[in-house]
Structure 1
Amino acid sequence: MCTASARPGRNLLHVPDVGAERVFIIITTFDRASYLQQLLHSIALLDPRPDGVVVVDNASTDETPEILAAAELPFPLVVERLPQNIGGSGGFAAGMVRALAEGARWLWLMDDDVVALPDALASFQPWMRRYSCIHGRRYDAAGEPFFWQHLLNDTLGVHLPVRGDVFVDSPVFHTNVGCFEGMLVSADVVREIGLPDARFFLNGDDTTYGWLISQRYPVAYVDSFVLRKTRAQRQIDLGVRHLNDSSDLSRFCGMRNRGHLAHYLQLHDRFSRVGFGLGTALSAGKEIVRLIAVERSLSGLGALWRGWRAARIILHDPTWRPEPPLTESSGAAGASR
């Protein structure tokens, strides 16, 4: 990851070589064979086509290996089966290393519980001439627009939703966070910023990665639908925020990873101890509301408490270091951390 505390050239427009797009799709999957099969089928129908697909199998125990072995795509399929589950962040890091080795110029990251819309890459192409980190819109499992329009508040260390229609005056919204459920990023930016921090495992890894990119280049959210979620989730609309159901693992990681986020904010001189403490309280409060309003249970409080304690240990760890810059020799090591 970028280790500089200053922000030289922040938000400079980065224009990749659009004459050689070479888009590779990177999918991280774990024990969701049926969802993965739907996703692979949708990718086969993309027009224009990607140049290849890298699927990172996080040591799945279901039929995922058989699904991948039987897959027939009109472009190369590369399978990286890991010996153990290293989470979404580790899986995407491993997939990005492999895609770069395959000559990718663009990396389109996505979870396994979505399908790609047939004209997705065509929708991206006009924006690839202006931006090097792009997010398209998504539908939820019911076919309704999925809510995702956030900005990270540096003082609180919390991504806050932007109310209203962010596309009412422009087809592009500049954000400062990322989402691995659809992020399209140029290979040049990945080499400069580095790989996602595998220590996050899940929850907050993409937010932080997008924030790190935004310290140097614009991160665009564009008014073009490119994905549809296939996994239905319980959710509520609170007016100022949408909340989906979650899991104890996600709750634990979300709280724990605030320790890692705090260190990255410190590296960029954006850390406020008081503000970040308030942000941690707000994060815990949001999860409690999620438990009560969405999941109608308080059984996840223990995971929140354990995550908070783990975050404090990380925050006060004098040996903590950011993920190293991406190099030929360190890429694979960073991905398997």
Structure 2
Amino acid sequence: MAASSPPRVIGATVTYGSRAASCLATVEAMRAAGVTAVVVVDNGSVAAAQRDLREYARAHEPLVRYHRLGRNEGSAPAFGFAIARALESDADYVWLLDDDNLPQGDALSILLEEDGALRAAGDDLCAVAPTRAPSAEPDDVAEARRVEQAREHPREDRSFAGVELALFARRALERIGLRRPRMGEAGADLSYAPYGGLLVRLDVLRRIGLPDADLVLYGDDLEYTSRIVRAGGRIRLSRDAIVVDPRGQRWMPPGFEVLAMFRSTNDALLYYSIRNRIHRELRTGRRRSVARGVNAGLFWALCLLCTVITRRPSKLRVLRAAAADAWAGRLGRRVELSG
């Protein structure tokens, strides 16, 4: 019997601004990993970056397929465009990476192997996400693995803006030493995943459709990938497939999340992040329930406390607008993008 041909993988990435150098490094890494083609979506780059991207694509066509959008309308429309182009191809998989992601070693082969194992087990509606580390240094990779194994997400069928009373209480007990930190399995199922490094078969994407362009950015990838799980599928976190995802300058600092919202530096990104998160939560489970109401009350109580601590009432106004728009279903571009 003839050996089956290797799966065909098309890479896809979105870039903007003055990020041509990092984007082309990502494209080179995808090519080195063995993709059959790369879709590059230029989401409103400056003239010099546009020139560099176009020249690279011309030098490597038809392997590299360059598409320029006239204006940056956010990541959701741009990744939607990239995914639509991938769906038009004859590939089996699409490998989604941000324009500063660098897959390490045989990351793609590992993701393909783990996806194949899921399918062999009967999970045909699935995707595999890598472990993302800020660098390829062994200590950073080990820490990223530790954090991912310990990460515990709120139940979105009852949480509000990421706040869930039960999870809040568990984390508080951990901080004061009355509860041992959670240790998950080496590989685990996710409720959703970012685009960065996600490998998914195109037949899965045909079943879940395209990203919701009305989400604009921040959280659009999480809403999109959560559709796989809501439809009864699985997203597997790979321990061994590593993608370097430089953190860069944070618009929202690390630490206690609600306090970080009040210390954030970009109101537009804060608005979209919270609006889209609440929108996703309200589509998971009942919009109105006792648990949802309790968690909403806890969120706003924490917001009032953080307003006093930071003396930034303007952040509370941004959060109120985001929550009101999410509840009313007012999506799309509501405030001007910045940064």
SS in 2 for 1:130: helix
Deviation at 1:182, TM superposition (A): 2.0
Alignment equivalent of 2:196, drawn from 169, 173, 181 = 181
Match of 1:138 in 2: 132
Residue type of the alignment partner of 1:93 = G
Alignment equivalent of 1:156, drawn from 149, 159, 173 = 159
Match of 1:218 in 2: 234
**1:77 correspondence with 2:64:** yes
Where structure 2 has 5 or more consecutive residues not aligned to the other structure, the ranges are 119-125, 172-180, 333-339
Q: 1:238 to 1:252 in 2, by over 3 A?
A: closer
TM-score by length of 1: 0.72
Residue type of the alignment partner of 2:13 = I
SS in 2 for 1:30: strand
Distance 2:21 2:72 in 1: 19
SS in 1 for 2:320: helix
CA-to-aligned-CA distance 1:82-120 (integer Å, 9 cap, x gap):
122231111111111101101221111122122222321
Deviation at 1:270, TM superposition (A): 4.6
Distance 1:41 1:296 in 2: 46
Deviation at 1:67, TM superposition (A): 2.3
Deviation at 1:192, TM superposition (A): 0.7
Contact residue 22 and residue 106 of structure 1 kept, 8 A: yes
Residue type of the alignment partner of 1:155 = R
Cα root mean square deviation, aligned:
3.8
Distance 2:220 2:240 in 1: 24
Q: 1:100 to 1:152 in 2, by over 3 A?
A: farther
Which deviates the most, 132-141 or 222-231? 222-231
Alignment equivalent of 2:40, drawn from 46, 55, 61 = 55
Larger radius of gyration: 2
Distance 1:177 1:158 in 2: 16
Contact residue 114 and residue 227 of structure 1 kept, 8 A: yes
Q: 1:233 to 1:40 in 2, by over 3 A?
A: same
Where structure 1 has 5 or more consecutive residues not aligned to the other structure, the ranges are 1-17, 321-337
Contact residue 139 and residue 225 of structure 1 kept, 8 A: no
Alignment equivalent of 1:128, drawn from 104, 115, 118 = 115
Distance 2:28 2:300 in 1: 39
Deviation at 1:68, TM superposition (A): 1.3
CA-to-aligned-CA distance 1:239-260 (integer Å, 9 cap, x gap):
9x99996632221112222453
Match of 1:13 in 2: none
Q: 1:137 to 1:77 in 2, by over 3 A?
A: same
Q: 1:259 to 1:165 in 2, by over 3 A?
A: closer
TM-score by length of 2: 0.71
Contact residue 90 and residue 198 of structure 1 kept, 8 A: yes
**1:236 correspondence with 2:254:** yes
Match of 2:174 in 1: none
Q: 1:166 to 1:119 in 2, by over 3 A?
A: same
Contact residue 10 and residue 39 of structure 2 kept, 8 A: yes
Match of 1:23 in 2: 9
What percentage of residue pairs aligned between the two structures are identical?
23
Residue type of the alignment partner of 2:242 = V
Match of 1:192 in 2: 207
Alignment equivalent of 1:89, drawn from 60, 76, 87 = 76
Which deviates the most, 174-183 or 156-165? 156-165
**1:249 correspondence with 2:249:** no
RCO higher in structure (CA 8 A, sep ≥6): 1
Match of 2:175 in 1: none
Alignment equivalent of 2:99, drawn from 105, 112, 127 = 112
Deviation at 1:195, TM superposition (A): 1.2
Contact residue 150 and residue 159 of structure 1 kept, 8 A: no
CA-to-aligned-CA distance 1:2-30 (integer Å, 9 cap, x gap):
xxxxxxxxxxxxxxxx8552111111222
Contact residue 12 and residue 83 of structure 2 kept, 8 A: yes
Distance 1:56 1:227 in 2: 20
Contact residue 13 and residue 99 of structure 2 kept, 8 A: yes
Q: 1:97 to 1:60 in 2, by over 3 A?
A: same
Deviation at 1:50, TM superposition (A): 0.8
Distance 1:41 1:75 in 2: 15
CA-to-aligned-CA distance 1:150-192 (integer Å, 9 cap, x gap):
535121156588954423xxx4201211211222111111111
SS in 1 for 2:46: coil
Distance 1:108 1:23 in 2: 7
